[in-house]
A = this chain, B = another copy of it.
Amino acid sequence: MGSLEVTAGVKATRKLRLGMVGGGRGAFIGAVHRMASRLDGRYQLVAGALSSDPRRARASGRDLGIARDRCYASYQEMAQKESRREDGIDAVAIVTPNNVHFKPAKIFLEAGIHVILDKPLTTTLQEAIALEKIVRKSRLIFGLTHTYTGYPMVRQAREMILGGALGQVRLVEVEYPQDWLAVPLEKSGNKQAQWRTDPKRSGPAGALGDIGSHAYNMACFVTGLQCEAVAADVQTFVPGRKLDDNIHVLLRFKGGAKGMLWASQVAVGCENDIRIRVFGDKASLEWRQEEMNYLKFSRYGEPSQRLSRSGVGSMSSAVHASRVPAGHPEGYIEAFAQLYTDLAEQICAHIDGRRPDPASLLVPGVVEGVAGVRFIDAVLRSSRRNSAWMRLI
């Protein structure tokens, strides 16, 4: 299945056949998924249902060099036909708006095709729980593209914390401020703004679902802690907007750690400024997307250190996710590609009936997806009850 190629000069591996749902002309995240799938040479895009508009779907397929007969008018058709081909797709990337996550994921899983899904998992907790069951039953690979978990230094932070470098974790301060929705962009024809502020397509959460879920995933991923309860104050600052554009959340973790989470789409001057700081009783770590190749590491009673990707002291999880030497920055697309490449390893192992490289197992899946939807749900409930604490577990 597929031809052989190497990942960053390391070892020969099978090239997987990929299909895509959504991501046609005019879409944004689809193109990023495609670059991510190409970077390490582990996938070949061979089929697509790239738009809900059949004509646009076909035109987009042509743009991408997909064979005519594999440009499908609907994902249902694609799942059916691809699952019957001998050279059918190994995996599908679903890059549609939030409200079109559940159904295609279900259909492809039931057709025996591995799934790579953009976050958030679903728009309701009910669907999320249902999807979790379907995934478990399918025994297939299911990846959720919480991109930031693909950054080498985010993985190193996790490895350090789980290895005890910080001692007992006490504080988790995480934030994801953006500014692009500080004005009512959805009213001036911006498509990205339109669907992200539209409850019909995005579900009940705005900034909360779009980027708050990333911040929450980051907090859990990096610390390995479970969040027990949240108390939230949710706002919509831009007049006429139907969904939240700012959230402030207090966090309580199992084991006693506390934290704060802030996500905003009205924080003027911030682009995609996700960052996290974790403080233990022995040391702390700090990471920020704008300086993604570095970690600030401070042991109590010692000067702060700046750990660099692939630099001295790099841990195995970061080395695994790196391609070029220290000082040559690797960015967002590489982080995204890491998820794809790790999923390729999982899928190949699944096909070969062997155990995957353990280093490839850090990609968020359906469990993290359900946790994210649960968080969104709890934040909204807390805010409706004047910031009362809501339990998550």
- A258, B233: Cβ atoms closer than 8 Å: yes
Q: Flag if B327 contacts A298 (CB, 8 Å).
A: no
Chain A residues 250-296 with CB under 8 Å of chain B are 250, 252, 258-260, 262, 264, 266-273, 277, 279-284, 286, 289-293, 296
Tell me whether A324 and B328 are in contact (CB under 8 A).
no
Using known A-B contacts A5-B64, A312-B303, A327-B178, determine if residue A269 contacts B298 with beta carbons closer than 8 Å: yes
Measured in the bound complex, the distance between the Cα atoms of B323 and A352 in whole Å is 35
Interface: A183 (CB within 8 A): yes
Q: Which residues on B sit within 8 Å (CB–CB) of A266?
A: 170-171, 279, 281
Asked whether, in the complex, the Cβ of A9 is within 8 Å of the Cβ of B38, the reply is no
Check: A4 CB closer than 8 A to any chain B CB: yes
Collect the chain B residues with CB atoms within 8 Å of residue A259's CB: 248
Contact, CB under 8 Å: B329 / A324: no
Q: Are A231 and B326 closer than 8 Å at their CB atoms? A: no
Interface presence of A35 (CB below 8 A)? yes
> Is A290 touching B64 in the complex (CB atoms < 8 A)?
no
Known interface pairs A30-B9, A259-B248, A308-B303. Does A327 touch B231 (Cβ–Cβ under 8 Å)? no
> In the complex, what residues of B have CB within 8 A of residue A262's CB?
173, 260
Kindly state whether residue A198 has any CB partner on chain B within 8 Å. no
Which 9 A-B residue pairings sit nearest by Cβ, starting from the closest? Answer: A271-B327, A269-B298, A272-B327, A9-B31, A329-B331, A331-B331, A328-B332, A303-B305, A3-B65
- 8 A-B pairs with CB atoms under 8 Å apart are A9-B28, A12-B63, A170-B246, A248-B259, A268-B282, A305-B305, A387-B389, A388-B388
